[in-house]
Structure 1
Amino acid sequence: MEAPIRTTCAYCGVGCGIVATRTGARSVTIAADPDHPANLGRLCSKGTHLGETVRLDGRLLHPMIGKRRASWDKALDLVARRFRRAIAEHGPDSVAFYVSGQLLTEDYYVANKLMKGFIGSANIDTNSRLCMSSAVAGHMRAFGEDVVPASYDDLDAADLFVLVGSNTAWCHPVVYQRIRARCAAGAKMVVIDPRRTETAEEADLHLAIRPGSDVALFKALLAYCRENGLIDEAYLARSVHVPDDFWAEVGEGSDLWSAARTCDVPPTDLRRFLELFAAHPRTVTLFSQGVNQSVRGTDQVNAILNLHLATGRIGKPGAAPFSITGQPNAMGGREVGGLASTLASHMGFEPESVATVSQFWAAPNMACKPGLKAVDLFRAVGEGRIKALWIMATNPAVSMPDAGEVRAALAACPFVVVSDVIADTDTGRFAHVRLPAAAWGEKDGTVTNSERRISRQRALFALPGETKPDWWIVKEVGSRMGWRTHFAYDHPAEIFREHARLSTYRNHGRRLFALPGLSAIGNQAYDALEPFRWGGDAFADGRFSTADGKARLVPVAQRALPGPLAAWPMTLNTGRYRDHWHTMTRTGLSARLARHREEPLVEVHPEDAAALGLADGAIARVATPQGESLFRVSLSEGQRRGELFVPIHWTDRTATGGRTGLLPRPLVDPQSGQPGFKLTPASITPADIQWKGFLLAADRVERPDCLWATRIQVPAGEVYELAGIGDPARVEAVLPKGERIEVIDTARGARRIAVLREGRLVAALFVTRDGLLPSREWLIAQLGETAAAPAVLAGGPAGPREDPGPIVCVCFDVGIKTIVGAIATQQLTSVDAVGAALSAGTNCGSCRPAIRRLIDDARKIANA
């Protein structure tokens, strides 16, 4: 067995350390790094199963020009030539890069340098614009610099946690377990979220506020603090600039009753929140996409920052506002200027900063003004103003709002380059050139997590095929465009050293971001670099990154909230599932992760569903003025009346429905440019479905031709859930060749087909109009195995068999029926007792709310 390698996880901004041990050419075992300060030996379900995602299925392994394989020289020469031509004919603003928080900091740095310093445009933006740019804008308005003034150590010292717009139990499970450990010692937790999520179910108080009313809530809390003597006047005098009319504006409409009415929460619950905040000075407020993904996201961020600054709950142990990021290197991208609105090393486009970066880079064509942010960038592509576009490590044809228009823009763009690890993505289908990039496990560089901690991501495998690191691809294009000496990098350590030198160049303490002592780090020391957090205990000395050293209270106002519209009476919210990631190009490879949520669901309150004629498990059509898509209905009392929730993960590669990106409006926050994904007017109607079924296949098959077809990975193949209208026989066209055995029941409109090859089951199709379908679990286990046709067509063997039910604990493969049975037979009364009996909930802990719910349900039944 090879020596273990310490690296970092590929998923969220928690930045967990991993100990990876190669067990073969493309296989690896994954364990949590007990010494990494971000996770201290814990991993969530996604990190735990990273080893299932490193195989080469579906990988882009060679450069492609159109549909033909090309050499690197031909592909890179073409990219450089087309970009040079566009710049010569239309100017530098006629080209653009759209990059990603999946890039390493070294990749990000080189791309930013090429575009802003040498091409001469700031038209480089990142998909982090969709996630965290309102936090960036809020930090800069309040602190003078994009600094997260918190660390994970603050979670161990806090007495009150306020989680705003974050389903932390699902989206940041390792952080959540640290919070729960502190709560077990007596800390309190308040969750502010329109939905009653798994996180909200474990809170001491849940405020299910009206979407978009966050400013009213935090202004009411700030007014309450002032009325009750909780403002830290000494801290304000020493460290914060307060506008003359700030307090008068805070008081307008911020009384308890007005705020409760605006937020649509009971006044008694709001008062309890105010009293909890007053009673616990050591407060950490964690906020995420529910705050940021709004057309008023920056104001919502500043409402939170105002509260912490005014009460002095910042720069102290256990007291901080904490923006928790979504991607593994969103923070690293922010450090090197990956956003169109910033320059490298936390500098902006002030003339002095432009001159500093220009002189450091010896840049011949330095950009002097901000570039196009993501939504405007793709609008410019559609309008023909962008002639050449390079997309790196992201899938905007799925993830951007109003994605139908984004696809039309990509189709019309004269030249599109896509660097990716996957051969066939929704975005890649629009590319004129596709460049094969290194994936997680092959990359070598650094990432920065939510608490400003820089860690190494190390390669585990040799580069497969002709893949190359993103920094190498970009520097080769830069060289071919005429700037060879400026992009003469041979190792990521060279890029990191340059990044570190720029962070201190003419800084003189004006910016907290600086990497002193690392500008001369040797390659060997870089390879061995231990995790470290830049900036130390940010703002602990009460000084901020402004000209006068003082933070700013920023006046913000609650905007009028729209009511229901006649044609669009519902409000659509979007978000993540626990075990999926972005557009599932990685998690979709893991059979275990795929089983948590097998289809894209639209969550609807039962009373809304009854009024609209929607049945649980039926197919519904969700529509907005921008587009429409199909989802399977899931009734949830955790939804507010009049509101819907859908996941972001499904694409045209995995489903005929669930295309959430088609639905949101392309409206953005005026300060940050971040789209408002959380508040879209929508409608929902039942879809006409005449039959339902499923297809199992040991090998990849074409997606069946029907209205509803969603694919998931299983251990020995794949499963499609199906539904449609008309004759279901046409879905048989995708069945593989082999000995075909079938049963047809015309009375029930039922069809059961098994395909065997050399006695082994390679496919099975089950369709019915009126009848029931068998459980998938036993059939999935038969794929690739020697099978008896009668048992397969019956959906299971004769006699009783164990069915664990849908998987609840992905870490240990424990199903709902197994847990319910153990609760009943062993009289288990706590989550810890279930963990002791079954191991469920003892790893990442993200399933603990679900287990607690099963225990509560069992108790209710027993007491009925």
Structure 2
Amino acid sequence: MQVRNPPDAPQPARCRATTTCPYCGVGCGVAVELEQDQDSVRIVSLSGDVAHPANHGRLCVKGSALAETLSADGRLTMPQVRDEAGVLREVSWETALDLIAARFADLSRTHGGESIAAYLSGQLLTEDYYVANKLFKGFIGTPHLDTNSRLCMASAVVAHKRAFGADAVPCSYEDLERAELVVLVGSNLAWNHPVLFQRLKQARIDNPLLRIVVIDPRVTDSCEIADLYLGLRPGSDARLFNGLLAYMADRGRLDRLYLKAHTQGFDAALKAARREDCSLAAIARDCDVDVERLETFYYWFATQLHVVTLFSQGVNQSTSGTDKGNAIINCHLAGGKLGLPGAGPFSITGQPNAMGGREVGGLANQLAAHMDYETPGARELVGEFWNAPNIPQGPGHKAVELFAAIERGEIQALWIMATNPAVSLPDSTRVRAALAACPLVIVSECMADSDTLAYADVVLPASSWSEKDGTVTNSERCISRQRGLLAPPGEARHDWWQLAEVGKRMGYQAAFGYSGPHAIFREHARLSGFRNVAPRHKAGSKPLAASSIRRLFNIAPLAELDREGYDALRPIQWPVRRGEKGELIGTLRLFEDATFNTPNGRARLVPVTPQLPHQALSDATPLRLNTGRIRDQWHTMTRTARSARLMNHRAEPFVELHPQDAAARGLQDGALAQLAGRDEQGSVRGDYRARVRISHGQRQGEVFIPMHWNDHFASHGRAGALLAGLVDPFSGQPESKHGAVDVMPLPCEWQATLLIAPGVWGGHEDLAGAMTELEGCYWARIPQATLVRYQLAGEGQPDWALWCERHLSVQAGLWAQDVAQGGISAAGFREGRLIWWLKVTAGAARSDRQPNIAWLGECFASDQLSALERRSLLAGRLSGQADVGTMVCACHQVGELTIRQAIQSGDRCVEALGARLACGTRCGSCLPELKRLVEEERSDERTDSLEMA
């Protein structure tokens, strides 16, 4: 019943605020309309911020669905401590914080500060990161603080430092729109950075001379706008770009003046490239690409000045990722394609604040303000600024080695913040064993369905997006405000506050007495300018004072902001300076004066020797495994799975493979498969179970799986369980793109769809208990708006009547059994409301006639079903109701079969589909898939015509 306010009651006030999206590294601005009354504040609408330079009002499907992820259900709201019986019990903040401070102090006395570690996340705000780095490295005295950014961007960081003398991304998004050639390497921009993809797509429309090259082992949706596609062999990127460097030298396409005046190391880099045969035929053979396509790419790159090479995880996630990054940078330096509008190597980050974390020293080899342990004088400078007594002597353990040190017993306490290493790290089974053995694991988390919570001794409830207040830095060095708009639920608190309170309890009150995030930011900004002399290496320039250190990262003018200025801060790119009139001025593009942050001011070309992936193929594991993100999900799904429409594009874990690989293994599209790897001793590593997706865009001999699923959403969906913990020797970044596996059919004698009302199962433990009774069970959990959907499969012949009675809280009110086919349809009711619905089919293949989940969702939401609806339940749809197929457009919930029918009816282009069905007319994330469906239908028509002829 809706209660209306009386006419004279105060009406809710509305206001508008801007903030920043918490997903990928594009860093889109978000405009939020808020409604406030005496009791609460709530978000009533959300859209892209037209004034933000990253997105100019665009949002992808994930960003558009942010308001749908804000429910208090499933949030952690009270601190918890595990008791002697192993049960987490709610406690006060005072109890939890006192316990942590006391245990840290005791460990520091008995084992030294290095027995304590922290593992952070690019989901943290810069202010959170800064306090964590200061507490652990400055006062506890441990270097063992690392971040999940190690898993995605660490190799690019080292490549930048080797080439430029600093972790400095030279480009801006505007350069993509001003380029003559854009090269995407190891980046499915359409799915992983969709708004930037839409900007690039529009740039191509605006400039018909712009060419786009996609270099990727898979034909992805990013190929929609490609003029040239190179489907190279995984791991051959360095060979490809070494060959390009030799090609430029052989064809006289080097910028000799630039090389002589502004770089060093070219001869050594070219000599290293020429150690192998650099003929086009040899490179095409080694990279497994067409020689004519290869030559076209080389010619385009060599003859254009305004070239942007945008690279991401496909380059970085390798045991030679740093060298691959430098091979790309070498080509730009050799051609002078840097520091110009529309030119430069551009590393695109995966997380919203991966760069902000690097600014404050969030990696184990960093200190703060872009200083490293090996930087002469850096320890003393940071120690003096912080008045910190315990700055470590050298770098700490990087992510993979950190958990190995926990396994060895060297680390006695670990504080995990805003990340889920039990899922995301490679060799995740070993990681879980290390966490289980660690004497003290503290987890700061906002969501209750993180796998890592199972290993926590102390759980601290954290604030989340729309509650957190601070700054983030996106891939183009743009600092934006992520504003706190809503109050955290229950006793949840900000991460920086948790850290500061522990610091104060350990006796460091003066260092951590922050009044709010603005105070932290101002200190961070002051440190960036503390004894920082801008790099100038011109003739006659004065030498630096011994106590000064040159850093490109400098936001010192922002230290002058008061609270109001901080709250009103607009997006700005570092370095930041004051103009003649005192205005704040950001830096659109770095190295325009060709002055770099090296001792002599010259950029360095780095000799690169290409290497094969270290996870080798074998007879037992003959398929190359590639992992990655999908369009509608983020990391381990703890946020995106809260939006029902984001769960429908790819509802279950899947494995994508080439038709010939599928046929050789007896796999059909939509069937269930099982993946396994092998460790060094030949033992099975991992057990990943997923739906088969057959794709001609997948290279033969290779498979792709998504990284997102965890134990709360699938029975066997952890990609990390299949990967070895092998890392790049320079960056410590894991080789997540080059696993080795085999794929085989998953034995199953039945498959089922189970729908239940929310709350029928109390949690993950209830689900796990129910599933253990089903032999060989595979399951995937798919939250929806009015129900929770499960896809099940298994062996044996379960007693479904008994199983339903035992686990679904009410007996079946409808039951139909097909004795001949072994199928079952059933439903349970409570006081006339639909509580659960089940359909079981015999055999390994899924039924061709899938239930209409949208209609069934309406039935679950109804207080009383009509006679027709009740009769139709066993069929799973109303009579004559069409199946809409897999969801393609998440914004407007338009399925694949509906789209194909519209194409067959005459809507032969994306624009016509949008006019009829509205698909593709909101965020645009589905446009590449819509175009592919149109092309497939046209291809089928041509094939049919040829067969008839």
Name the TM-score, length of structure 1 as normaliser: 0.98
Q: Kindly tell me: are residues 560 and 9 of structure 1, through their superposed partners in 2, closer, same or farther at Cα, counting changes over 3 Å? A: closer
- Deviation at 1:280? 2.5
Counterpart of 2:861 in 1: which secondary structure?
Answer: coil
- Deviation at 1:25? 4.6
Q: Kindly tell me: are residues 818 and 620 of structure 1, through their superposed partners in 2, closer, same or farther at Cα, counting changes over 3 Å? A: closer
* Contact 1:142–1:302 (Cα < 8 Å) also in 2: yes
Distance 1:553 1:273 in 2: 21
- C-alpha offsets along residues 39-66 of structure 1, whole Å, 9 cap, x if unaligned? 0010000000101000112100000011
Matched, 1:470 2:492: no
Distance 1:860 1:568 in 2: 35
- C-alpha offsets along residues 234-263 of structure 1, whole Å, 9 cap, x if unaligned? 111121112553322222322211111110
Counterpart of 2:740 in 1: which secondary structure?
Answer: strand
- Which of these residues, 267, 272, 285, is aligned with residue 249 of structure 1? 272
Matched, 1:33 2:49: yes
* Contact 2:850–2:883 (Cα < 8 Å) also in 1: no
1:804 maps to amino acid: V
- C-alpha offsets along residues 770-809 of structure 1, whole Å, 9 cap, x if unaligned? 46654232323321323343211122223x2254332211
Q: Give 1:695's aligned residue.
A: 754
Distance 1:491 1:394 in 2: 23
Distance 2:526 2:33 in 1: 34
- Which of these residues, 501, 505, 519, is aligned with residue 559 of structure 2? 519
- C-alpha offsets along residues 555-584 of structure 1, whole Å, 9 cap, x if unaligned? 001124676311111111100110000010
2:936 maps to amino acid: D
1:255 maps to amino acid: S
What is the 5 A alignment of 1:134-173? 134-173=155-194
- Which of these residues, 644, 649, 652, is aligned with residue 599 of structure 1? 652
Distance 1:272 1:324 in 2: 25
* Contact 1:624–1:663 (Cα < 8 Å) also in 2: yes
Q: Give 1:727's aligned residue.
A: 797
2:440 maps to amino acid: F
Matched, 1:669 2:728: yes
- Which of these residues, 185, 207, 210, is aligned with residue 233 of structure 2? 210
- C-alpha offsets along residues 70-123 of structure 1, whole Å, 9 cap, x if unaligned? 000000000111111111111111110000000000000000000111111110
- C-alpha offsets along residues 530-564 of structure 1, whole Å, 9 cap, x if unaligned? 11111312111100111111110000011246763
Distance 1:395 1:68 in 2: 21
Distance 1:166 1:746 in 2: 51
- Structure 2, unaligned runs of 5 or more: 1-12, 83-87, 535-549, 576-586, 679-684
2:851 maps to amino acid: S
Distance 2:110 2:529 in 1: 37
Distance 1:9 1:268 in 2: 42
- Which of these residues, 347, 355, 362, is aligned with residue 338 of structure 1? 362
Counterpart of 1:87 in 2: which secondary structure?
Answer: helix
* Contact 2:670–2:693 (Cα < 8 Å) also in 1: yes
Counterpart of 2:507 in 1: which secondary structure?
Answer: helix
Matched, 1:408 2:433: yes
Q: Give 1:538's aligned residue.
A: 590
Q: Give 2:870's aligned residue.
A: 789
What is the 5 A alignment of 1:358-507? 358-507=383-532
Distance 1:681 1:859 in 2: 36
Distance 1:586 1:424 in 2: 10
- Which of these residues, 887, 892, 898, is aligned with residue 818 of structure 1? 898
Q: Kindly tell me: are residues 268 and 436 of structure 1, through their superposed partners in 2, closer, same or farther at Cα, counting changes over 3 Å? A: same
* Contact 1:621–1:630 (Cα < 8 Å) also in 2: yes
* Contact 1:236–1:242 (Cα < 8 Å) also in 2: no
Distance 2:214 2:781 in 1: 34
Distance 2:124 2:553 in 1: 20
- Which of these residues, 649, 665, 675, is aligned with residue 622 of structure 1? 675
- Which of these residues, 134, 146, 150, is aligned with residue 113 of structure 1? 134
- Deviation at 1:640? 0.9
* Contact 1:809–1:841 (Cα < 8 Å) also in 2: yes
Of stretches 732-741 and 141-150 in structure 1, the one that deviates more from structure 2 is 732-741
- Which of these residues, 682, 707, 710, is aligned with residue 651 of structure 1? 710
- C-alpha offsets along residues 238-296 of structure 1, whole Å, 9 cap, x if unaligned? 21112553322222322211111110111111111112212322111100100000010
* Contact 2:69–2:639 (Cα < 8 Å) also in 1: yes
- Which of these residues, 183, 198, 207, is aligned with residue 177 of structure 1? 198
- C-alpha offsets along residues 652-688 of structure 1, whole Å, 9 cap, x if unaligned? 1111021111011100000000000011111111111
- Deviation at 1:739? 6.0
Distance 1:751 1:728 in 2: 11
- Structure 1, unaligned runs of 5 or more: none
Distance 1:495 1:315 in 2: 32
- Deviation at 1:829? 3.2
- C-alpha offsets along residues 358-397 of structure 1, whole Å, 9 cap, x if unaligned? 1000001111200000000000111111000000000000
1:727 maps to amino acid: Q
* Contact 2:219–2:697 (Cα < 8 Å) also in 1: yes
Distance 1:40 1:148 in 2: 21
Counterpart of 1:84 in 2: which secondary structure?
Answer: helix
Identity %: 50
What is the 5 A alignment of 1:828-847? 828-847=907-926
Q: Give 2:542's aligned residue.
A: none
- Deviation at 1:27? 4.3
Matched, 1:191 2:214: yes
Q: Kindly tell me: are residues 794 and 246 of structure 1, through their superposed partners in 2, closer, same or farther at Cα, counting changes over 3 Å? A: closer
Matched, 1:765 2:765: no
Matched, 1:319 2:371: no
- Deviation at 1:211? 0.6
* Contact 2:449–2:638 (Cα < 8 Å) also in 1: no
Q: Give 1:587's aligned residue.
A: 640
Of stretches 557-566 and 313-322 in structure 1, the one that deviates more from structure 2 is 557-566
Counterpart of 1:58 in 2: which secondary structure?
Answer: coil
- C-alpha offsets along residues 568-608 of structure 1, whole Å, 9 cap, x if unaligned? 11111100110000010000000000001000001111101
- Deviation at 1:630? 1.1
1:822 maps to amino acid: A
2:456 maps to amino acid: A
* Contact 1:42–1:843 (Cα < 8 Å) also in 2: no
- Deviation at 1:314? 0.7
Distance 2:812 2:661 in 1: 48
Matched, 1:292 2:292: no
Counterpart of 1:728 in 2: which secondary structure?
Answer: coil
- Deviation at 1:857? 2.1
Counterpart of 1:519 in 2: which secondary structure?
Answer: helix
Counterpart of 2:559 in 1: which secondary structure?
Answer: coil
* Contact 2:163–2:606 (Cα < 8 Å) also in 1: yes
* Contact 1:619–1:632 (Cα < 8 Å) also in 2: yes
* Contact 1:766–1:773 (Cα < 8 Å) also in 2: no
Counterpart of 1:675 in 2: which secondary structure?
Answer: coil
Distance 1:327 1:498 in 2: 24
1:780 maps to amino acid: G
- C-alpha offsets along residues 210-251 of structure 1, whole Å, 9 cap, x if unaligned? 110000000111111111121111111121112553322222
* Contact 2:79–2:92 (Cα < 8 Å) also in 1: yes
- Which of these residues, 559, 562, 568, is aligned with residue 621 of structure 2? 568
Distance 1:165 1:739 in 2: 51
Matched, 1:12 2:7: no
Name the TM-score, length of structure 2 as normaliser: 0.89
Distance 1:560 1:415 in 2: 39
- Which of these residues, 657, 662, 665, is aligned with residue 609 of structure 1? 662
Distance 2:717 2:613 in 1: 27
Q: Give 1:81's aligned residue.
A: 102
Q: Give 1:52's aligned residue.
A: 68
The runs of at least 4 consecutive aligned structure 1 residues that moved more than 6 Å come to none
Distance 1:229 1:834 in 2: 49
- Deviation at 1:697? 1.1
Counterpart of 2:558 in 1: which secondary structure?
Answer: coil
- C-alpha offsets along residues 445-480 of structure 1, whole Å, 9 cap, x if unaligned? 000000000000011211210011000000001111
- Deviation at 1:516? 2.6
2:676 maps to amino acid: A
